[in-house]
Structure 1
Amino acid sequence: MSAALRTRLAEIDTSIVELRSRLKTVEDDRRSIQQQLDDITYPILTLPAEITSEIFLQCLPGNESVFHRTLWKPYPAPISLLHICREWRFIAIATPRLWTFLQLNLPDLPDRFLKTERYKEFLSEWLARVCGRPLSLELATLDYFPNPGEPARLLVTHTLHSLASHIRTLHLSIYPDHYPPIPLDFPLLRELLLGYTTDSEEEFNVENSIQTFSAAPQLRDIYMFCKAAPSFFAMPWHQLTVFKGEEVSSRECATVLGLAPSLVQCTFDEPYSTPDTPFTTHMGLKSFELCETGDVLFRFLALPALQTLQIVLYDSDDGDEHVLPFISRSSRSLLKFSAPASSRVPVRCLLDMVLLTYLVLDTPETEYLTELVGLLDRANTWDSLPELQVLELSHCAPYINEPLITALSSRAVAQEGRARLRSFRQTWLSKDRSQRTYRVDPAGYIGIALKKLADDGMEIHLGYSSL
């Protein structure tokens, strides 16, 4: 009896082995057919992983700025790429460049993310995917009112502590009391954007300077906006080369220039006047941009090493009282000057710009152009703008006439140490379609003269432009 059972058991084992072999063959056939079907239906899966990785990088939203990438939400890349298929998930996780931009905006985060401190695990996973590469981080409480309080402060503190050693570019828009109270080590930080919450009418006061960024040996660029004041922050100001401030007081502007002797490029957008602003001279600044109403800063500044000046001025009752002296103090070394051509920046101020090579004038009126052309004609003013090589007249009425041709021709060749004009551009804006199709008669005097200038090597562009 037992012998018969053993025989039967052996037969069953043999059948199992045969069935498993047949099942393996069928499964192999299925995988082969599925692979062939995938190659037909999903040809992208046949691409090498390196190419797929590059395609993934192009899926990142917001090409114009790293701070327009909304990466926490589940539907944009790169998080969405993790949920397509196993192959894509593997490639996405194995592509560190996908994870070098992180944006955390409080309004986008679910409550459980803060209350359960889910962000700790999330940040750990994100950091692992970066694989040691420098990171760009935006952390903001934008439009989140009232003050989100302790959970948000813990999120900010933990995020900065966890990622500080990896951050190269940092954008913070948070409440002043959310900054960590002690200095953090930012060995890679080079660009810093700081602002407070938007749309708030509250005036922020900081009793003690914020020390968070005092240990940032590579910090070079700072941009302050939304009521963030330079004097609120302890920074390695001496090593900065670029600064931009929006709605900063005139006293704070002077503070920045005084604290940052290595500054090369500086922008002040809509500064406002405060009493007791000291007169400030910066000996190293090369590039300066100013957009203001009135003469908030002109009366307080001297920039003797300036090479590039771009100003946008709005109406003021002061006229040229402070504009002209400022330009006179800062014009001898100018190489590029850009400004709206108006009575606030009169033509005569150009006479002091003896090294100027690039001149851009926006929305000049006909009367202004007539005076400018007279200045440019070397037969009239031999010494004016001797180094000028590029002239751009933007958003003006079409101004193409014999005096202009005469002035351009007088600068078509280098003469006795005077540079030749290499490029002339004139563009205009108009709702009148007839002006959009403005044409120069190629057989007329002006057309022939322009062609000769172009044949001799001057780059000439004339025509309608749109904003």
Structure 2
Amino acid sequence: MALAQYLSKPRIEGPLWLNPVDIPFLRARLLKAETRLESLEAQISEVLDERALLRNVLAPVRRVPSEILSNIFEHSCTPGTSITDEIDFDVVRSTFVLARVCVAWRKTAHATPQLWSYLRLDLRRQPHLFKGDVSWVKEWLSRGRSLPLDLDLRFQWYHTLDKEDLAQGAAQMLESILDFRHRIRSCSIVGDLKLCLPLFRLPHSSLPELKEINLIHFSATDGLVQDARDFPSGIEAFLGAPKLRRVRISDLVMIPCWNCWRYPQSS
């Protein structure tokens, strides 16, 4: 079969017999086709970029004022009113997803301090947040600027081989949070309170904006807390908090750790 007949077929089946002069000719044709393909791919890429840019410019969300967009973000990153919604809501994931949609959304999210003034962490549901580098917590809270800070920390254990690593990550995370202790307005901690020793070691007058504290000690049988001696005596972290109005400390494993706290005297 002649070479022209091979090239005219959409599909070639069976062996080929080529003359020595045909091989360089075919290689030249192949190089020409590849060069043309590269040129077409570059043109296609350019057209696709132009289409994406035009769609981006024409997107209705682009015409939404940043103030309204901030309100939408704030509403989207707020848990629902039911208990189920509050338990299942992952504020870290929701906020980070919004901030990663595009550059404009990221700038708006970072410029909305309300998004970063509430932090909920759950050791059981979000163990990945407590592993490795936890410096993201400082970045998160810094974006809250001077707004009051509300914390909901769930340090309840489950059986895991990573318990020591998670405990270290939780302690480091809490220490980072306490760098912003002057902004803490409310703090709820449920779980193994030994992970909260950095909080309990704070000196007098460390929480000037604190209005509400809720501590529920709950440790599994293999937990880190064994008795009240695991806590420092004479804890003064809540003394000198002029705005403190509500204190709730519960011990679900019958360990009298509440005796370790010193409470502000009512006037």
TM over 0.5: yes
Structure showing greater Rg: 1
Question: Which residue does the alignment assign to 2:217?
Answer: 196
Q: Specify the code of the residue in structure 2 equivalent to 1:47.
A: V
Q: Which has the higher strand share?
A: 1
Does the 8 Å contact 1:103/1:139 carry over to 2? yes
Query: Within the alignment, does 1:205 sit opposite 2:199 as a pair?
Result: no
Q: How many residues align?
A: 203
Superposition deviation, residue 102 in structure 1: 0.4
Q: Deviations over 1:283-311 (max 9, x none)?
A: xxxxxxxxxxxxxxxxxxxxxxxxxxxxx
Q: Deviations over 1:442-463 (max 9, x none)?
A: xxxxxxxxxxxxxxxxxxxxxx
CA distance in 2, matches of 1:160, 1:183: 13
Does the 8 Å contact 1:104/1:138 carry over to 2? yes
Superposition deviation, residue 99 in structure 1: 1.0
CA distance in 1, matches of 2:56, 2:173: 45
Does the 8 Å contact 2:149/2:185 carry over to 1? yes
Q: Deviations over 1:284-340 (max 9, x none)?
A: xxxxxxxxxxxxxxxxxxxxxxxxxxxxxxxxxxxxxxxxxxxxxxxxxxxxxxxxx
Question: Which residue does the alignment assign to 1:60?
Answer: 77
Q: Specify the code of the residue in structure 2 equivalent to 1:97.
A: Q
CA distance in 1, matches of 2:250, 2:66: 42
Q: Deviations over 1:426-447 (max 9, x none)?
A: xxxxxxxxxxxxxxxxxxxxxx
Superposition deviation, residue 96 in structure 1: 0.4
CA distance in 2, matches of 1:157, 1:175: 13
Q: Cα distance 1:188–1:67, how it changes in 2: closer, same or farther (>3 A)?
A: farther
Q: Cα distance 1:210–1:144, how it changes in 2: closer, same or farther (>3 A)?
A: farther
Superposition deviation, residue 172 in structure 1: 1.2
CA distance in 2, matches of 1:144, 1:155: 20
Superposed counterparts of 1:131-170, under 5 Å: 131-145=145-159, 148-149=163-164, 150-152=167-169, 154-155=171-172, 157-170=174-187
Gaps of 5+ in 1: 1-26, 240-261, 263-467
Match of 2:90 among 70, 88, 91: 70
**How many percent identity over aligned positions?**
23
CA distance in 1, matches of 2:121, 2:143: 17
Q: Deviations over 1:358-411 (max 9, x none)?
A: xxxxxxxxxxxxxxxxxxxxxxxxxxxxxxxxxxxxxxxxxxxxxxxxxxxxxx
Superposed counterparts of 1:320-359, under 5 Å: none
Q: Specify the code of the residue in structure 1 equivalent to 2:228.
A: V
Q: Which has the higher helix share?
A: 2
Superposition deviation, residue 103 in structure 1: 1.1
Gaps of 5+ in 2: 1-45
Superposition deviation, residue 164 in structure 1: 1.2
Does the 8 Å contact 2:113/2:145 carry over to 1? yes
Match of 2:202 among 183, 197, 201: 183
Query: Within the alignment, does 1:225 sit opposite 2:244 as a pair?
Result: no
Q: Specify the code of the residue in structure 2 equivalent to 1:232.
A: C
Does the 8 Å contact 1:67/1:103 carry over to 2? no
CA distance in 1, matches of 2:149, 2:90: 15
Superposition deviation, residue 229 in structure 1: 5.7
Q: Cα distance 1:160–1:144, how it changes in 2: closer, same or farther (>3 A)?
A: farther
Divergent runs of 4+, >6 A: none
Q: Cα distance 1:51–1:114, how it changes in 2: closer, same or farther (>3 A)?
A: closer
CA distance in 2, matches of 1:170, 1:130: 16
Superposition deviation, residue 130 in structure 1: 0.4
Does the 8 Å contact 1:61/1:70 carry over to 2? no
